[in-house]
Structure 1
């Protein structure tokens, strides 16, 4: 493994610091915003504006990279992210935070695309799976590591914002100082949402609803924990355990979906997520252990839904269409993450912090019902002909870039098919 990772070790090290900063900033803002008395609507919009900036960045950032090059674009994006987080600590104003958060989302898309394209250039058919798995692991541990920094300083002071700036600055060094040649120009994502829906209605509807639920919880989960009285350490632990539980659950859930109708697995997992969410709403727990158990159950089931839905869509698609199919699903997920926090904030204001899980429960119940309906209208693909299941975790759940899709080992059949066409007489 070390031989496979050595050529990209410096880049992966920078990636770790980037996601440490992302994890710290993503938890710090809602916690500090709650202390400052920002409304639930504003705190929800922090997630909405970030997701909006990220989605726009996936389409616009490649043009920036083409004009000025990978290294300068990467340094520029990181400089803006660093500047934004420092200004967020100095300029405590809700409107300013929303604007800065949108810019950060846009720049995060740019930095992620550059890192992923660089990894793509260094990957070979033999080590692609290793590099991809290690990259996903780094995003997971980086986000959680950043979140766990929150209890170690006073969130009302600029200290943690400064730490964020330091992490982002360190992240810029490996690629800036690297002598390696820049990767090929970034690719444009070709999307066909109508064709995607015809291919797999449950994947389209399900992933939109997963985005709504994940976007609501991902942005407002820390706000919920703060408003029910948890301390900083408990807030960080609750948010982090959701990610870990989801990461652990993906392996057994994926194996199960490879053997059974994936729609049945989607229905069961989304049902478990809905029940856990409804338990939070009905019981309205304030004890930290009860909250952590219920939220861990929720996270384990909810975070396994996306990769199963992607695998189901690819079961009915051609192997060479993986990037196009997954790109369309990512767009739907991104739209969902924009809608979720926008709905969650007002609902929490109207019905209390526990009502956040009412939003997620409704979304997951809709997935359960629709998955059952679709399973009766279309036969599943035989187990031996299905797409390979691959786990998905990261700083924003599955929200990724087109370059990240190309790095996925499942995207390789397109190249293989092209090679076969060239060598066939």
Structure 2
């Protein structure tokens, strides 16, 4: 069908983009660690991406309305490629902070273009499956990316060149398409306070996603590089690529079952179970912080399967609570809450990493956060009844940078 050809272009572009993103998620922490940056500096660079993403999310609708989807995607993609290549000029913390800020803002624009394009092109009856395919394409790219430097290219220069090339390639499918650009509805950004009022459980869960996922993932590649025992120094990049690939693959495998289970039970209890799960795994990693490569891969896979799976469930809970007219504001507010957690989390994790606790402190932060999230969800479930069956929305498999909730058209929903 025509709409499948239209959205396949977007999926291809985002898949290629995420290959570069996955590569950078490994290469940058290893480079900063190799340059002996402090934990706070490494955390600040991770926070810069989230801060830029927050700004880009605000400005993206205005930019797209002004110059259109294709030009906005090309402009943001070019900025992201340039910001990535300029990282190779010097390993200066302030330079990297600014460049990752630009990269984060560009990423927000790219995702806004891609997801609004898909929503415009896809009939309501097919939207759930198409969005899931889009998410899988992106996550597959993140899994593939780290392995491009695992056994071949060495040094940050080669990694940045490869990433820059894929970022540039991501522009080509969108820029070359002959498909007419969709119109983006004008929707005012929502306030996080509105999210707290309508769906406080969803707001807490989304904040936890930004706080822990971004904070811990900023240091996982560095931790992974030491899992090889006596040969750790020889296999740093390969171990980091393997670990990050396992994390994202495990999260891909667990998100859909978690979401489908939440369609039949109180979503807050599903989030609580996931929070308790990653708290337990994190505590094991606090005790056995260097369990060896095989055990480390298994444990971190379990951590990824639990800690990266609850965002979509939280979004579904928010949709259950909100009226259809409130969905655009709800989506914007949730994105802001996630970004706020993503700014704060790496700073906390960085401070703990720089302390005598080192990586144990980072995993302890993860454990406490998961336990607090689980407790908050249970308390909220006891104090507030779950939405009725008629008010529950079907689960849609979303990841933490998705604003897809904002694209739901009330006229497309069966009543």
- CA 1:374–1:405 in 2, change beyond 3 Å: closer, same or farther? closer
Which residue of 2 is the match for residue 52 of structure 1? 51
- CA 1:136–1:45 in 2, change beyond 3 Å: closer, same or farther? same
Which residue of 2 is the match for residue 131 of structure 1? 130
- CA 1:313–1:163 in 2, change beyond 3 Å: closer, same or farther? same
- CA 1:381–1:119 in 2, change beyond 3 Å: closer, same or farther? closer
Q: In 2, are the aligned partners of 1:45 and 1:342 still within 8 Å (CA)? A: yes
Which runs of structure 1 show a deviation greater than 4 angstroms over 4 or more consecutive aligned residues?
227-230
Q: Alignment partner for residue 378 of structure 2, among 365, 372, 381?
A: 372
Which residue of 1 is the match for residue 341 of structure 2? 336
Query: Alpha-carbon deviation of 1:385?
Result: 4.0
> What is the TM-score when the length of structure 2 is the normalising length?
0.91
Query: Alpha-carbon deviation of 1:384?
Result: 5.3
Q: Alignment partner for residue 298 of structure 1, among 282, 298, 303?
A: 303
Deviates more, 1:163-172 or 1:318-327: 318-327
1:263 aligns with 2:259: no
Query: Alpha-carbon deviation of 1:3?
Result: 6.0
The SS at the match of 2:88 is helix
Q: In 1, are the aligned partners of 2:258 and 2:309 still within 8 Å (CA)? A: yes
- CA 1:275–1:120 in 2, change beyond 3 Å: closer, same or farther? same
Q: State the distance in 1 between where 2:245 and 2:216 align.
A: 12
- CA 1:345–1:63 in 2, change beyond 3 Å: closer, same or farther? same
Which residue of 2 is the match for residue 214 of structure 1? 213
- CA 1:251–1:130 in 2, change beyond 3 Å: closer, same or farther? closer
Which residue of 2 is the match for residue 405 of structure 1? 405
The SS at the match of 1:128 is helix
The SS at the match of 1:182 is coil
Deviations 1:229-248 (A, max 9, x none): 65211211111211111221
Query: Alpha-carbon deviation of 1:189?
Result: 4.2
1:175 aligns with 2:174: yes
Q: State the distance in 2 between where 1:84 and 1:320 align.
A: 38
The SS at the match of 2:91 is coil
Which residue of 2 is the match for residue 359 of structure 1? 365
Q: State the distance in 2 between where 1:310 and 1:288 align.
A: 34
Aligned residues: 408
Q: State the distance in 2 between where 1:212 and 1:157 align.
A: 27
1:390 aligns with 2:390: no
Q: In 1, are the aligned partners of 2:132 and 2:398 still within 8 Å (CA)? A: no
| Residues 305-320 of structure 1 aligned to structure 2 (within 5 Å) | 305-320=310-325
Deviations 1:186-239 (A, max 9, x none): 644431433322322222222212221111122222122235565211211111
1:76 aligns with 2:81: no
Deviates more, 1:188-197 or 1:171-180: 188-197
Deviations 1:118-174 (A, max 9, x none): 223322224323321221111111111112212033442511211111111211112
Give the RMSD, CA atoms, in angstroms: 2.2
Deviates more, 1:189-198 or 1:267-276: 189-198
- CA 1:315–1:69 in 2, change beyond 3 Å: closer, same or farther? closer
Deviates more, 1:109-118 or 1:328-337: 109-118
Which residue of 1 is the match for residue 90 of structure 2? 91
Query: Alpha-carbon deviation of 1:290?
Result: 1.5
Query: Alpha-carbon deviation of 1:24?
Result: 1.3
Q: In 2, are the aligned partners of 1:228 and 1:353 still within 8 Å (CA)? A: no
Which residue of 2 is the match for residue 423 of structure 1? none
Which residue of 2 is the match for residue 252 of structure 1? 257
The SS at the match of 2:397 is coil
Query: Alpha-carbon deviation of 1:115?
Result: 2.1
Deviations 1:383-403 (A, max 9, x none): 45422112223xxxx1224xx
Q: In 2, are the aligned partners of 1:344 and 1:359 still within 8 Å (CA)? A: yes
Which residue of 2 is the match for residue 276 of structure 1? 281
Q: Which runs of 5+ in 1 are unaligned?
A: 421-425
- CA 1:65–1:287 in 2, change beyond 3 Å: closer, same or farther? same
Q: In 2, are the aligned partners of 1:120 and 1:406 still within 8 Å (CA)? A: no
- CA 1:380–1:146 in 2, change beyond 3 Å: closer, same or farther? same
- CA 1:67–1:250 in 2, change beyond 3 Å: closer, same or farther? closer
Which residue of 1 is the match for residue 350 of structure 2? 345
Q: State the distance in 2 between where 1:128 and 1:261 align.
A: 24
1:37 aligns with 2:42: no
The SS at the match of 1:151 is coil
- CA 1:3–1:335 in 2, change beyond 3 Å: closer, same or farther? same
The SS at the match of 2:383 is coil
Query: Alpha-carbon deviation of 1:116?
Result: 2.2
Q: In 1, are the aligned partners of 2:11 and 2:138 still within 8 Å (CA)? A: no
- CA 1:376–1:128 in 2, change beyond 3 Å: closer, same or farther? closer
Q: Which runs of 5+ in 2 are unaligned?
A: none
